[in-house]
Amino acid sequence: MFKISAAFATLAALTQVSLVTAHGGVLSYNIAGTTYNGFVPYNTPVGQSSIQREWDTYDPIQDPTDSYMSCNTNGANLGSDQLYATAASGSTVIAYWNNPWPHTIGPIMVYMANCNGDCTDATTSDLEWFKIEEAGLISGDQPTGVWGMGEMVNDNSSWTTSIPSSLAAGDYFIRHELLAIHQSNVPQFYMECAQLKITGSGTASPSSEYLVKFPGAYSMSDPGVDINIYGNSGVTNYTIPGPAVWTGN
Ligand SMILES: *[C@@H]1O[C@H](CO)[C@@H](O)[C@H](O)[C@H]1NC(C)=O
Ligand SMILES: *[C@@H]1O[C@H](CO)[C@@H](O)[C@H](O)[C@H]1NC(C)=O
Ligand SMILES: [Cu+2]
């Protein structure tokens, strides 16, 4: 009996290591100078307290209309023991992925959503998300150029964002999303959400043209989603999916 459970434990450990090397997500943050650990997938959610919504697997979502597109597998469910990071509007948010993040081809996007109340109780697929930052094909052509994701990997597998300084105070999610497109016509979406209590004297909020839902914002027919970059030698543009970036102005 003891031998059998030890063997299972070893198998589970090996499985997790191989998953870690292939995929992953945002594991921690630095928000306005304070470090916050994220949820730990593969561990039981019982007793975990973090600012991040639960997510259960390092694997990507491959269907842009998946019901978990907002905050990853099980992130759409109500959270338990959720914490907040408090930050004034205009603050810096650094997200840290597993390092080195294994993919370099595709855009990075950062969204927020006003929870209009406590984010812990929010159903993330009902929220209206707005994009605060994006980086797609930065230079070169699609198969050989530099992508936002590659810059993230080069920067210690981290991404630094500023919360729009005019954003109205309130409880928000911040949602970091990677779209890996190294596999032809098989998009890989990776997203994690964390709870922010935004303070400050800002009064701005995005108008409806900037607001989207997940699922809803993307479809498989989007040019930047269903894409074979290897057939696009010499193509130096790329259409990042989703709405225009709201800068707060
Ligand atoms: C690099 O990322 C790790 C987390 O993956 C973090 O602990 C460390 O502080 C980062 N180093 C720098 C120089 O940002
Ligand atoms: C690049 O730009 C051209 C011309 O505007 C457009 O037709 C094409 O769809 C774009 N390609 C991508 C991959 O976004
Ligand atoms: Cu992967």
Instruction: Report, in angstroms and rounded to the nearest whole number, the Rg of the chain calculated over CA atoms.
Output: 18
**pLDDT at site 13:** 44
Residue 214 and residue 170 in contact, taking contact as beta carbons nearer than 8 Å: no
CA of 238 to the centre of ligand 2 (A): 7
Q: Which ligand is nearest to the CA of 160?
A: 1
**pLDDT at site 61:** 97
CA of 83 to the centre of ligand 3 (A): 28
**pLDDT at site 47:** 86
Q: Give pLDDT tens digits for 55-73.
A: 999 999 999 999 999 999 9
Mean pLDDT of 44-50: 89
CA of 167 to the centre of ligand 3 (A): 33
Residues with CB under 5 A from ligand 3 (ion): 22-23
Closest to 190 (Cα-Cα) out of 75, 85, 82, 93:
75
Residue minimizing CA distance to atom 6 of ligand 2? 237
Tell me: pLDDT of 25 over 70. Answer: yes
Strands 34-37 and 137-139: unpaired
**pLDDT at site 79:** 67
Residue minimizing CA distance to atom 3 of ligand 2? 237
CA of 112 to the centre of ligand 1 (A): 23
Mean pLDDT of 9-16: 43
Tell me: pLDDT of 27 over 50. Answer: yes
Q: In whole angstroms, what separates CA 107 from the centre of its chain?
A: 11
CB atoms within 10 A of CB 229: 21
**pLDDT at site 21:** 54
Instruction: Name all residues whose Cβ lies below 6 A of ligand 1.
Output: 96, 99, 156, 158
Q: Which ligand is nearest to the CA of 97?
A: 1
Tell me: pLDDT of 239 over 80. Answer: yes
In the chain, what percentage of residues exceed pLDDT 90? 85
Q: Give pLDDT tens digits for 169-206.
A: 999 999 999 999 999 999 999 999 999 999 999 999 99
> Does 223 contact ligand 2 (Cβ within 6 A)?
yes
User: What element of type H or E holds 112?
Assistant: strand 108-114
| Mean pLDDT (the chain, rounded) | 92
CA of 158 to the centre of ligand 1 (A): 8
Domain positions in the chain are 25-231
CA of 25 to the centre of ligand 3 (A): 9
Q: Give pLDDT tens digits for 114-162.
A: 999 999 999 999 999 999 999 999 999 999 999 999 999 999 999 999 9
Tell me: pLDDT of 46 over 90. Answer: no
Tell me: pLDDT of 6 over 90. Answer: no
| Domain 25-231: assigned CATH number | 2.70.50.70
Instruction: Tell which one of 225, 228, 239 to mutate to probe ligand 2, the residue whose CB is within 8 A of the most ligand atoms.
Output: 239
